[in-house]
């Protein structure tokens, strides 16, 4: 009787996915815990990233394709003075610079001016497909291919925390609301390149997916 009651669950769980789990791992956990046959997420979140992952249960899985998923929100940190091949803190170091001369005002200006429409080249560690293969699969073979820039929108971007200014590796924590398909790691990389000190994404959590926060 308990199993039958659980099978009747219909709705949406707004899950905070921990780092280290794939989106598929979350679905498997939900199905096992609630003893449900039907459960599905509304949009993949990278295994290493924590954040909002809406999961539809039971009959609600039929509405996944109709849920708005065009807006994403993140809290991220950019660390200046080091660039990596993955544009985050886990990649191989490509260049190191002393960013102790960077001021908070310069960093704020570079970050805030990104609000609006842009063209962005997706990173090699992304799931964007090239000739049927995902870019990160190609990158694992040590290859890099030319990628086409894609339009993105940054609706809001606001610095909220500063640390390490005056040292070789200052950091800025910021909130960003952007269009689906925007790579925050690339934003961090590009900010560092523009300022001339290099930079990488040192922290990321997804705070919003569509209407779910």
| Residues annotated catalytic, as ranges | 46
Minimal CA–CA distance to 52: which of 210, 211, 209?
Answer: 209
Distance of CA 210 to the CA centre of its chain: 14
Q: Collapsing DSSP states into helix, strand and coil, what is residue 40?
A: strand
Distances (CA, A) of 74 to 67, 90, 100, 183: 19, 19, 27, 10
> Residue 4 CA to chain centroid, in angstroms?
37
Element (H, E) at 71: strand 71-80
Give CA–CA dist 148/154, Å, rounded: 19
> What is the C-alpha separation between 21 and 49, in angstroms, rounded?
9
The Cα angle at residue 148 between residues 53 and 151, in degrees rounded to 5: 55
d(CA 146, CA 139): 12
DSSP bridge pairs for 72: 178, 209
């Amino acid at each position: 009787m308990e199993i039958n009651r659980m099978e009747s669950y219909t709705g949406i769980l707004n899950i905070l996915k921990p780092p280290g789990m794939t989106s598929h791992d979350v679905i498997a956990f939900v199905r096992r815990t609630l003893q449900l046959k039907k459960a599905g997420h509304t949009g993949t979140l990278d295994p290493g990233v924590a954040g909002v992952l809406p999961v539809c249960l039971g009959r609600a899985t039929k509405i996944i394709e109709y849920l708005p998923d065009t807006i994403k929100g993140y809290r991220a940190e950019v660390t200046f003075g080091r660039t990596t091949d993955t544009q985050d803190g886990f990649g191989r170091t490509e260049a190191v610079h002393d960013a102790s001369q960077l001021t908070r005002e310069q960093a704020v200006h570079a970050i805030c001016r990104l609000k609006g429409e842009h063209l962005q080249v997706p990173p090699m560690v992304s799931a964007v497909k090239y000739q049927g293969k995902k870019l990160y699969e190609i990158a694992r073979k040590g290859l890099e291919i030319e990628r086409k820039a894609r339009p993105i929108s940054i609706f809001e971007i606001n610095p909220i925390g500063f640390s390490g200014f005056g040292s070789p590796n200052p950091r800025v924590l910021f909130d960003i609301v952007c269009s689906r398909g925007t790579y925050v790691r690339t934003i961090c990389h590009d900010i560092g390149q523009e300022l001339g000190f290099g930079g990488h994404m040192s922290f990321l959590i997804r705070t919003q997916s569509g209407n779910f926060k």
